[in-house]
Amino acid sequence: MASVPHTKFTRSIIIGLGIYLFISAVISFANKKYEFLYYTVIMIIIYLFSFKRLDRMPLSHTSVIGISIVILMNLLGGFVFIGTTRLYDYWFIFGLLRYDHLMHFTSSIVATSIVFDLIHPLLKEFRQRTPILFYLTLVLLVAGLGALNEVVELGAVVFFDASQNVGTYLNNAVDLVVNFLGAICASIYLAVRRK
């Protein structure tokens, strides 16, 4: 994967994401969707932290485009309704596949790409000597990020009484499993592509 921290393409997407996040925050506030505003503020903090370090973050085109897709999916999930059902809560296959699952799976794939981009330059020799251990480490790092995301969702439940939107313990556990599966799939893809 080509590293792209200095291209116009990357900077255009990053600036576009900043504009999107600002608009999302305004819309969330205007519509009194404080849970969604909470998530957006967290994304803005991550965005500002990352933007200042962009030149030191060797992200691939895949990661940059993936970030854009995940943020767009998040916007759609929170503001688009199918009938009276918020897209995040919509079941594509009842009892099996919900939009939220698709979001977690996609987010984990993108997170795997980002973490790979960040750690591969530092651990290239480790990957070459023990590829299975390297990719297992990658999966576990991304699974940890997925668990951190669930902590953020717990914050929404505690501070914004969002348990109806966030879901039950079973939803939390399913999210963790889906995150794990996304990390495994992305790691297998990266391992096969890097052979």
94-103 pLDDT, tens digit per residue, is 989 999 999 9
| For residue 51, pLDDT beyond 80 | no
- Give pLDDT, residue 1: 47
Q: What is the largest CA-CA distance in the chain?
A: 53
161 pLDDT band (50/70/90 cuts)? confident
pLDDT of residue 13: 80
DSSP β-bridge partners for residue 86 = 81
Indicate the pLDDT class of residue 25, thresholds 50, 70 and 90: very high
pLDDT bracket for residue 15 (50, 70, 90): confident
The Cα-based distances of 92 to 4, 169, 172, 177 in angstroms read 36, 21, 19, 18
Mean per-residue pLDDT over the chain, rounded? 88
Q: For residue 6, is pLDDT > 60?
A: no
97: β partners: 93
Percentage above 90 pLDDT, the chain: 52
Q: What is the DSSP string of 49-84?
A: HHHHTGGG---BHHHHHHHHHHHHHHHHHHH-EETT
Across the range 43-68, mean pLDDT stands at 82
